[in-house]
Amino acid sequence: MKLVHVTGDTYYVPGLTNVGVYKDYVIDPGKNERVDWARPETSFGRKISAALITHGHNDHFWHASDMQARGTKIYAPRDERPMVENIDVHTNGFFLWTRPPDGMKPWYFRGTPCRLDGIVEGLDMPLKAIPLKGHTDWHTGYMTPDGVLMAGDSIVDKKVWDTTGIVYNTNIPRTRQTLQDIIDIDADFVVPAHAKAVTKDEAVEQAEGNLQGLDRLEHIILDALDTRGVSTEDIVCRVSHALSLRDVFNDYLVCETVVRAFLFALEEDGAVDYELKGHRVLWRVRA
């Protein structure tokens, strides 16, 4: 697979998870079926000295240990480090810090951990680390000197919102701020992790579409509540039905996480209340 040229010395390899390339750096050595991970230099056209990870989800560092074994230094944001070095941190966190049965784990909970060579904070490198929080609380993008923002999972193609109605984010206010930051950022191109590279104008349109998707989902979640109180589990069920999600653990875990993230944000904004009653957490629209 040939590198796709963005501009200047910045390229990427499209795939399940895009791999960004700038000179001898790669961004997100993840689950990309078009890279020969046994001989990555043949796919990247160069020897890679360092790999930068945007966040600690396995599909973004799936092959980091393979590259490290070939001499590449691996770096990630400081607070994402535990998830990269120990996959169980991410997995167990989803399940209230208990170890789930294997049958409950989607494919992206699998993979190989990688002990980092260091963190990106303070790293002497030609790329600039840009906080893009919300998908995870410490998600980080990387701006190349060519004005290309490697954005990771901070922004998705509008068609994702149009087809699923939901996108995984753990902190809704930070997600909204990050999308506004992408609208305002001084960049010429943006490369999302799971979509093709776009111009800045196209990225602005995508970010606005993402913000609209968040607004639509918020309305769906509020419609699932009433003034008497609805349990978290029932809200997840109602939202899943409203979005016609599949009855599989992958969709369930995404919906549960995102619903909780919205409820917590809505409570902070004063739009909803909660109480513990009958050993269940009940949520209601604030009268």
Tell me which residue of 151, 114, 160, 159 sits closest to 133, measured CA to CA. Answer: 151
- Domain spanning 4-216, CATH class: alpha beta
CB 236 within 8 A of CB 256: yes
Roughly how many angstroms between the first and final C-alpha of the chain, as a whole number?
57
Domain boundaries, the chain: 4-216, 224-285
- The pTM assigned to this predicted structure is 0.96
pLDDT digits (tens, 9 = 90+) for 53-87: 999 999 999 999 999 999 999 999 999 999 999 99
Average the pLDDT over 111-116 and give the result.
Answer: 95
Q: Does position 107 have pLDDT exceeding 90, yes or no?
A: no
Q: Does position 1 have pLDDT exceeding 80, yes or no?
A: no
Domain covering 224-285 assigned CATH 1.20.58 in the classification: no
- Rounded CA separation 155/186 (Å): 16
CB 145 within 8 A of CB 116: no
Q: Does position 104 have pLDDT exceeding 70, yes or no?
A: yes
pLDDT digits (tens, 9 = 90+) for 164-176: 999 999 999 999 9
Q: What per-residue confidence (pLDDT) applies to 272?
A: 98
For the beta sheet containing 118-119, the strands, ordered from the edge strand earlier in sequence to the opposite edge, are: 4-7, 10-13, 19-22, 25-27, 50-52, 73-76, 118-119
Tell me which residue of 162, 168, 166 sits closest to 60, measured CA to CA. Answer: 168
Q: What per-residue confidence (pLDDT) applies to 131?
A: 98
> How high is the mean pLDDT of the chain?
97
